[in-house]
Chain A
Amino acid sequence: MIPVVWILALNALCVPAAIVLQRFWLRAHPVRADLPAQGSAARCTLVSCLALWLAGSIGGFSWGFPALLPIFHGIFLGAQGLVYIAVFCVSESGRRYYLLEQLDRQPGITPEALAATYPDRDILERRLARLLAWGVISRRDDRCRLQKRSSYYYSLFFRLWGKCLGFTWFRELRAGHSSMKK
């Protein structure tokens, strides 16, 4: 049971450590008011997971714990890290949470009025400005171009995942989208 307790104890520290690290990180490196702080969440979670994985694996190895301990430990820490980043992104730049916040401020609002608090034009302009600031896209001669192919592959992965489950959100772009493919 001792290796299990050792793993559980270290895993319990993962998210709290990421939160504390992120608080200090954001104090030292404040993000621009119009940009979300996803990068800080990813960095701090990675540092927290790596430090705890190393501590757990080195400690377990020196005490003669089972050889598979680092694999279990890595799976648990990796999952917690992914959950923390996803949850943070939901609260930071997710439209659902933003709309829920608006709903909490104005309970009894009609769906039309709620949609009007966050028009599509604002959503798209905000995203374009972020992608430009992050260097994912560039703008030259009034035309935007993709700079980071990794973001494209990441989007293709989620499109494939959605496709497997039968979602059709990638078809929500108008017919003009198909001509853009050429």
Chain B
Amino acid sequence: MTSAALLWGIGAFLAGWLLHLAWWRVRRPADDLRALVLSVLVLPALAGALAAIPVQPTLPELLMGYGVLGALGLAYSAWYPAAQAASPTMLIVLQLGHAGQRGLTATEITAAFDDDQLCRNLIRNLVDERFAVERNGRLYPGPRGHRLLRALGGLRRCIGLKEARG
């Protein structure tokens, strides 16, 4: 458990993040989730393994290095949707922050949003990211969507919560 393992994990994550940044700036992938996992987790892990060959790390060092990469990559991926999609809460806070002490009326706040874009954009994202499938103009939950519903539904039952509040 040395600082080399720590630096290796952080370095591999940063390299993956730069790759992710370049990829998104050149052309944003339609299936964000798969591309994100590939760029911040899978490719840095493979490149890091090649870089570690000449150093010949011990097994604990290798495990810790991969642990750091995995931890940073997963935390980044989990919060990525907040940067990816327009959160209405954040947009409201940004509007009010810009307005300063003058403030805004509720009508002014809602009038600043494009009609129906908050929901329609997300429905498109659900199909692009294969959480939902579209057949003959109708929507169905996709396998990925079913898995998400099962996993999060299970979590909510464990905590004792019922319906999502949206």
Contacts and interface: CB of A to CB of B under 8 A. Distances in A.
Contact of B138 (A35, A88, A108): A108
B152 A4 contact: no
A170 B83 CA distance: 10
Contacts of B120: 111, 115
Interface string A79-115: 1101100111011111111111101100111110011
A29 interface: no
B68 A75 contact: yes
A69 B71 CA distance: 15
Given A23-B160, A172-B113, A144 B79 contact: no
Given A128-B109, A152-B93, A173-B95, A76 B67 contact: yes
A118 B118 CA distance: 10
A17 to B, nearest CB: 12
Contact of A99 (B78, B114, B123, B134): B123
B92 A127 contact: yes
B20 to A, nearest CB: 8
A119 B132 CA distance: 19
B158 A83 contact: no
Interface residues of B, number: 88
A115 B119 contact: yes
B64 interface: yes
Interface string B87-111: 1111111111111011111101111
Interface in B39-83: 59-60, 63-64, 67-68, 70-72, 74-75, 78-79, 81-83
Which of A96, A118, A174 is most buried by chain B, counting CB atoms within 10 A of its CB?
Answer: A96
B125 A96 contact: yes
Which of B5, B123, B149 is most buried by chain A, counting CB atoms within 10 A of its CB?
Answer: B123
Nearest to A101: B164
Contacts of B85: 96, 169
Nearest to B73: A79
A165 B25 contact: yes
B11 interface: no
A78 B75 CA distance: 9
B83 A108 contact: no
A114 B109 CA distance: 24
A61 interface: no
B131 A172 contact: no
B158 A19 contact: yes
B87 A158 contact: yes
Given A35-B165, A169-B85, A180-B95, 17 more contacts: A19-B158, A23-B159, A72-B67, A95-B166, A97-B148, A97-B164, A100-B148, A108-B140, A109-B138, A115-B119, A144-B103, A170-B86, A173-B113, A173-B114, A174-B112, A176-B108, A177-B98
Interface of A: 1, 3-4, 19, 22-23, 26-27, 34-37, 65-66, 68-69, 71-72, 75-76, 78-80, 82-83, 86-88, 90-101, 103-104, 107-111, 114-115, 118-121, 123-128, 130-131, 136-137, 139-140, 142-146, 149, 151-152, 154-156, 158-159, 161-162, 164-167, 169-170, 172-174, 176-177, 180-181
